[in-house]
Amino acid sequence: MQLVRIAGPTDMMRRLGEVEGLDFERTSATRIDDDTWQVAGYATDAALTEVEARGLQAELIVPADRLDDDRRTLFAQISRDEQDET
């Protein structure tokens, strides 16, 4: 999974929930102009391919390898903080 930003026309964006391997929060939706919306979420390579095949714009924000490293670092820090509290 990688962190992505997806933008496109309203009608096409309404069908994003159909894309398997794409996880996004509808609350992240931002209106760009009268008929263009943008959302942020996590996508597999296959989901990104599908999004682009639908004619939507996809922008990679954080690649999968970096996202995995960031998560490991974050969870390690949380574990250390929890141990320090006990």
How is the chain split into domains, by residue range? Answer: 2-85
What is the reported pTM?
0.75
Per-residue pLDDT of the chain in tens (86 residues, 90 and over written 9)? 889 999 999 999 999 999 999 999 888 899 999 999 999 999 999 999 999 999 999 999 887 777 666 666 666 777 777 777 76
Tell me if 61 sits within 8 A of 40, measured CB to CB: yes
- CATH code linked to domain 2-85: 3.30.70
Structure tokens at 39: 């959302």
